[in-house]
């Protein structure tokens, strides 16, 4: 039998194959919890190379692990067995010319989200996805995890923004589904299925994405609220009153604000009042004829009259707006610098957020009295990044990780929500999925996997248990 490394080197050339120390930067996941040394890293430059690599791995019985920016929070993009090849898409980062008349663009899977934003800037069009990792996260991984972010409630998740796809199947065939239309009902919605499949059904190599016109004006406000019930009521009011203008409805708590202000000395909070909850509201419009500031101000006034709003300020400049956003965006960093933490990615119906916060606190304090709860996220779609820090000085925190995850997942499930809202399952949440989702659902997923990847070599152990 021919050494598969010889075959892979031949396909990829010397620049395209990394092993040993050169492969180390690809080995561990973002949170440094998963990943063993793979046989090597295939840095493919073309779809044909990806296909040839997948075929060669299949013949040699090697696992294939697709990797984009390696920003998965669930360990979805690293190997858990040494007889694996990581297929990095980093060299396939081309961004095409946008179709200005139709509002779409073709991109390679390795393009970073921020690079796409930048490429679109001169054209008056935007790709409406924004998330913390956008500087590193790549389009293929965003598709694989069906990314959401702060504008998902308005513009949709990745599955709503993908028009067409090119995918290398687990058998090394190339599916050309590079259509550029929203309406394509010619059979099963494969383009939607690959969104969120976490690279277990094939490797996304190119995509055609939907674009929107860049708004011509914006208004942003930072709003201080007494509690989550007020935030939910005010959010519902805004959805009725300013529905089509709402592009962000982000929240964070005073626990998180304290941590961020403590650890990031250059961070500034400039309002006079503090509250339990903060909202970052953003309106945008394509028309200069709309008085967004007035609409936002009058909503604030209404909120104050109703006792839902304690204080608030509209951004008066781009720099001011950036300050508001930094308060929201530094929430994970503030908590990381505080020390150990446990992350949970919950969603519940947006009207049920306050109920979840209340019930979740009870559940968590039953498990560990004094645990510090730092929920932040996206009010518009009910997505709560429900992160925990230990009571100060306590050491048996991580030992309770399973209990917290279990209790919070079960609570979200009972409320009609999800324990894996926008980060996916990866390797981290398979057991949770097995406990929170019925056997019919998991069985359908097993069948889907076997149908597309009968040998089980495509990203094994992610999303489902490995059958190898």
Site for its own copies in 38-97 (CB under 8 A): none
Q: How far is the CB of 356 from its own copies (least distance, A)?
A: 11
* Of 13, 318, 349, 391, the one binding its own copies by CB under 8 A: 349
Helix, strand and coil percent figures for the chain, each rounded to 5: 40, 20, 40
How far is residue 72's CA from residue 76's CA, in Å, rounded to a whole number? 6
Q: How far is the CB of 304 from its own copies (least distance, A)?
A: 19
How far is residue 190's CA from residue 331's CA, in Å, rounded to a whole number? 36
- Please tell me whether residue 29 binds its own copies under the rule CB under 8 A: no
* Of 185, 272, 319, 393, the one binding its own copies by CB under 8 A: 185
- Please tell me whether residue 375 binds its own copies under the rule CB under 8 A: no
**Residue 391's beta-bridge partner residues?**
none
How far is residue 308's CA from residue 301's CA, in Å, rounded to a whole number? 10
- Please tell me whether residue 122 binds its own copies under the rule CB under 8 A: no
- Please tell me whether residue 221 binds its own copies under the rule CB under 8 A: no
Beta carbon nearer to its own copies, 203 or 368: 203
- Please tell me whether residue 417 binds its own copies under the rule CB under 8 A: yes
Q: Which of 105, 106, 108 is nearest to 94 (CA)?
A: 108
- Please tell me whether residue 175 binds its own copies under the rule CB under 8 A: yes
Q: How many residues bind its own copies (CB under 8 A)?
A: 102
Beta carbon nearer to its own copies, 282 or 338: 282
Q: How far is the CB of 263 from its own copies (least distance, A)?
A: 28
Residues 376-395 that bind its own copies (CB under 8 A): 378, 381-383
- Please tell me whether residue 195 binds its own copies under the rule CB under 8 A: yes
- Please tell me whether residue 350 binds its own copies under the rule CB under 8 A: yes
Is residue 186 within 8 Å of residue 100, measured between CB atoms? no
Residue 174 Rama label (left phi>0; alpha psi -120 to 50; beta): beta
* Of 180, 261, 361, 373, the one binding its own copies by CB under 8 A: 180
- Please tell me whether residue 421 binds its own copies under the rule CB under 8 A: yes
- Please tell me whether residue 244 binds its own copies under the rule CB under 8 A: yes
Q: How far is the CB of 12 from its own copies (least distance, A)?
A: 23
Beta carbon nearer to its own copies, 40 or 170: 170
- Please tell me whether residue 103 binds its own copies under the rule CB under 8 A: yes
What single string gives the DSSP state of each residue in 308-371? --SEEEE--SHHHHHHHHHHHHTHHHHHHHHS--B--EEE--GGGHHHHHHHHHHHHHHHSTTP
Q: Which of 377, 216, 180 is nearest to 288 (CA)?
A: 216
Residues 248-277 that bind its own copies (CB under 8 A): none
What angle (nearest 5°) sits at the alpha carbon of residue 425, between those of residues 419 and 427? 130
- Please tell me whether residue 295 binds its own copies under the rule CB under 8 A: yes
Q: How far is the CB of 418 from its own copies (least distance, A)?
A: 4
Q: Which of 267, 278, 261, 432 is nearest to 344 (CA)?
A: 432
Is residue 225 within 8 Å of residue 308, measured between CB atoms? yes
* Of 88, 145, 457, 459, the one binding its own copies by CB under 8 A: 145
Tell me the helices (H) and strands (E) count for the chain, helix number first. 16, 17
* Of 137, 368, 433, 458, the one binding its own copies by CB under 8 A: 433
- Please tell me whether residue 100 binds its own copies under the rule CB under 8 A: yes
Residues 201-220 that bind its own copies (CB under 8 A): 201, 208, 212-213, 215
> Exposed, middle or buried, 96 (CB in 10 Å: 0-12/13-18/19+)?
middle
Beta carbon nearer to its own copies, 22 or 441: 441
**Element of type H or E holding 281:** strand 277-285
- Please tell me whether residue 466 binds its own copies under the rule CB under 8 A: no
Beta carbon nearer to its own copies, 227 or 311: 227
Beta carbon nearer to its own copies, 108 or 338: 108
- Please tell me whether residue 160 binds its own copies under the rule CB under 8 A: yes
The distance from CA 161 to its chain's CA centroid, rounded to whole angstroms, is: 14
Phi, psi (rounded to 5 degrees) for 296: -70, -45
What are the angstrom distances between the C-alpha of 342 and each of 132, 367, 409, 430?
A: 18, 14, 13, 17
Beta strands at 383-389 and 372-378: parallel, antiparallel or unpaired: antiparallel
Residues 308-347 that bind its own copies (CB under 8 A): 347
Beta strands at 311-314 and 217-225: parallel, antiparallel or unpaired: antiparallel
- Segment contacting its own copies (CB under 8 A): 135-143, 152-160, 271-279, 388-396? 152-160
How far is residue 373's CA from residue 386's CA, in Å, rounded to a whole number? 7
- Please tell me whether residue 5 binds its own copies under the rule CB under 8 A: no
- Segment contacting its own copies (CB under 8 A): 1-9, 102-110, 133-141, 302-310? 102-110
* Of 15, 97, 188, 393, the one binding its own copies by CB under 8 A: 188
Residues 351-370 that bind its own copies (CB under 8 A): 351-352
- Please tell me whether residue 140 binds its own copies under the rule CB under 8 A: no
């Amino acid at each position: 039998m021919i050494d598969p490394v010889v075959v892979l080197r031949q396909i990829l050339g010397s620049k395209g194959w990394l092993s040993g120390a050169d492969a180390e930067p690809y080995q561990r996941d973002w949170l440094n919890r998963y990943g063993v040394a793979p046989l090597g890293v295939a840095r493919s430059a073309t779809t044909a190379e990806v296909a040839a690599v997948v075929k060669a791995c299949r013949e040699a019985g090697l696992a294939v692990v697709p990797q984009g920016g390696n920003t998965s929070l669930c360990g979805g993009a690293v190997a858990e067995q040494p007889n694996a090849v990581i297929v990095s898409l980093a060299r396939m980062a081309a961004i095409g010319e946008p179709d200005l008349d139709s509002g779409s663009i073709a991109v390679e899977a390795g393009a970073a989200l921020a690079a796409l934003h930048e490429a679109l800037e001169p054209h008056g069009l935007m790709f409406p996805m924004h998330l913390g990792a956008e500087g590193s996260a790549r389009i293929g991984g965003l598709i694989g995890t069906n990314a959401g972010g702060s504008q998902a409630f308005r513009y949709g998740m990745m599955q709503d923004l993908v028009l067409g796809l090119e995918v290398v199947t687990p058998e090394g065939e190339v599916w050309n589904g590079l259509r550029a239309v929203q309406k394509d009902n010619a059979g099963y919605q494969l383009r939607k299925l690959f969104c969120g499949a976490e690279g277990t059904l094939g490797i996304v190599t190119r995509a055609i994405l939907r674009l929107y016109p860049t708004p011509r004006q914006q208004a942003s406000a930072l709003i201080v609220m007494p509690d989550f019930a007020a935030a939910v009521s005010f959010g519902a009011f805004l959805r009725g009153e300013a529905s089509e203008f709402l592009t962000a409805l982000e929240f964070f708590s005073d626990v998180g604000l304290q941590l961020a202000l403590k650890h990031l000395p250059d961070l500034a909070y400039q309002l006079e009042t503090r509250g339990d909850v903060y909202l970052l509201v953003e309106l945008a419009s394509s028309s200069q004829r709309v008085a967004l500031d007035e609409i936002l101000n009058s909503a604030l006034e209404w909120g104050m009259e109703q006792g839902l709003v304690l204080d608030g300020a509209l951004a008066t400049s781009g720099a001011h707006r950036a300050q508001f956003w930094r308060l929201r965006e530094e929430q994970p960093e503030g908590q990381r610098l505080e020390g150990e933490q446990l992350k949970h990615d919950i969603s519940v119906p947006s009207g049920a957020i306050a109920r979840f916060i209340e019930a979740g606190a009870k559940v968590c304090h039953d498990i560990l009295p004094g645990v510090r709860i730092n929920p932040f996220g996206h009010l518009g779609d009910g997505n709560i990044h429900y992160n925990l820090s230990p009571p100060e000085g306590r050491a048996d925190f991580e030992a309770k990780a399973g209990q917290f995850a279990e209790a919070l997942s079960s609570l979200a499930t009972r409320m009609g929500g999800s324990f894996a809202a926008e980060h996916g399952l990866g390797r981290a949440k398979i057991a949770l999925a097995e406990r929170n989702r019925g056997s019919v659902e998991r069985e359908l997923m097993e069948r889907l996997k076997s149908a597309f990847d009968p040998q089980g070599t495509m990203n094994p152990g992610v999303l489902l248990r490995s059958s190898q």
